[in-house]
Amino acid sequence: MANAQNEQSLEDRLAEAQALDRDCTTLSRHVLQQLQSFSPDAQDISALMNRIALAGKFIARRLTRAGLVEDALGFTGSVNVQGESVKKMDIFANDVFISVFKQSGLVCRLASEEMEKPYYIPENCPIGRYTLVYDPIDGSSNLDTNLNVGSIFSIRQQEGTDEDGTALDLLQHGRKQIAAGYILYGPSTMLVYSLGTGVHAFTLDPSLGEFILANENITVPEKGPIYSVNEGNFWQWDDSLRDYIRYVHRHEGYTARYGGALVGDFHRILFTGGVFLYPGTIKKPEGKLRLLYESAPLAYLIEQAGGRASTGTQDIMDVVPEELHQRTPLIIGSKEDVALVESFIKEQSRQVTNT
């Protein structure tokens, strides 16, 4: 009897130890495990990820109180370089990313959706070896209705110089990214990242103030049921995209999901499979999404998870931008679903060539 009790308590203790182990896999510990090194480079990447996580915590804290505090919601009254009305939260989040990197010695320059030109942190520049490219609040039209939004980030090694301030040295393909990820501000706050060794998701435990490992080595299904696209643009698309949507409507097994915020839509596809599309339209032939801080970081993640990202004719990761805020059509998700969309585009261009 005494032995049975002892065994029981041993099992309980083992279960507790496992739970504790899981709770102790914080983002910073995970990053070091991924890098398998304590080299200066590994320490830098770890410090970078910690600062990004800190930015995520600041933004999440503000968002959870947005309806309660003055000056959190609504527009600033100005228009950004993209011609879009700027929200107060866009500016707050943009500044948070800048301020967490001050005096870090890590990042000399940051480029974001909200800034026409890259921002320099002069005190970091003598030693800062990395550039951070980010979208501080993606899907900001969701803000005023208390729906999910996200932040997207990408880290690149700083290369060359930016003598004329045009950031020419940043205009390189997505395979130059050394890390990428996003923070999803939903019912809970999640950080999903990759350093080129799989995709891993963390949930913010607000009581600890730590991102705790939730899913390791996420793989996107080869094919999935979701198609995620703003069908309001149907008559603005090329015939090939309309044909693809007609195909989806006529076949069983598809379901539409579109939240109007890329991070949330992408997150769902990462876990359940399917495809997200933001194709070009008549008004915007290159679509809406920006290559460097929206499409390329998510392309990096989806490839790491075994999926694909395409413009329709080229892998997103291979696209070399000509300017900082360049837009690109985006088709991203499960391999088979992306290939199916591409097959419609290919067929259309074959028909055009034959006529």
Q: Dihedral, CA atoms, 53, 54, 56, 60, nearest 10 degrees?
A: 140
Q: Which of 56, 118, 128, 139 binds ligand AHM (CB under 6 A)?
A: 139
Please, which residue, 104 or 295, has the CB nearer to ligand AHM?
Answer: 295
Does residue 279 bind ligand AHM (CB under 6 A)? Answer: no
Q: Which of 230, 236, 272, 326 binds ligand AHM (CB under 6 A)?
A: 230
The one of ligand AHM, Mg ion, none whose footprint includes residue 230, by CB under 5 to 8 A per kind, is ligand AHM
Cα gap 200→30, rounded to integer Å: 9
Q: Which residue's CB atom is positioned nearest to Mg ion?
A: 138
* 189-194 vs 200-205, strand pairing mode: antiparallel
Q: How far is the CB of 76 from Mg ion (least distance, A)?
A: 16
Task: State the first-to-last Cα distance of the chain, in angstroms, to the nearest integer.
Answer: 86
Stretch that binds ligand AHM, among 35-43, 62-70, 256-264, 314-322 (CB under 6 A): 256-264
Q: Are the CB atoms for 224 and 333 separated by under 8 Å?
A: yes
Q: How far is the CB of 135 from Mg ion (least distance, A)?
A: 4
User: Which residues, 150 to 209, sit near ligand AHM by CB under 6 A?
Assistant: none
Cα gap 150→186, rounded to integer Å: 8
User: Which residues, 118 to 137, sit near Mg ion by CB under 5 A?
Assistant: 135
Q: How far is the CB of 107 from Mg ion (least distance, A)?
A: 20
* 255-256 vs 226-228, strand pairing mode: parallel
Q: How far is the CB of 82 from Mg ion (least distance, A)?
A: 9
Cα gap 227→224, rounded to integer Å: 8
Q: How far is the CB of 259 from ligand AHM (least distance, A)?
A: 8
Beta partners for 179? Answer: 155
Residue 248 Cα to chain centre, angstroms: 26
Q: How far is the CB of 83 from ligand AHM (least distance, A)?
A: 10
The one of Mg ion, ligand AHM, none whose footprint includes residue 337, by CB under 5 to 8 A per kind, is none
Beta partners for 110? Answer: 119, 132
The SS3 assignment for 218 reads coil
Q: How far is the CB of 164 from ligand AHM (least distance, A)?
A: 27
* Whole-number Cα distances in Å, 318 to 169, 176, 269, 310, 346: 16, 10, 22, 9, 18
Cα gap 203→191, rounded to integer Å: 6
The one of ligand AHM, Mg ion, none whose footprint includes residue 238, by CB under 5 to 8 A per kind, is none
Stretch that binds ligand AHM, among 63-71, 104-112, 136-144, 309-317 (CB under 6 A): 136-144
Q: Given the rule CB under 6 A, which residues bind ligand AHM?
A: 84, 113, 135, 138-140, 230, 260-262, 278, 288
Q: Given the rule CB under 5 A, which residues bind Mg ion?
A: 135, 138
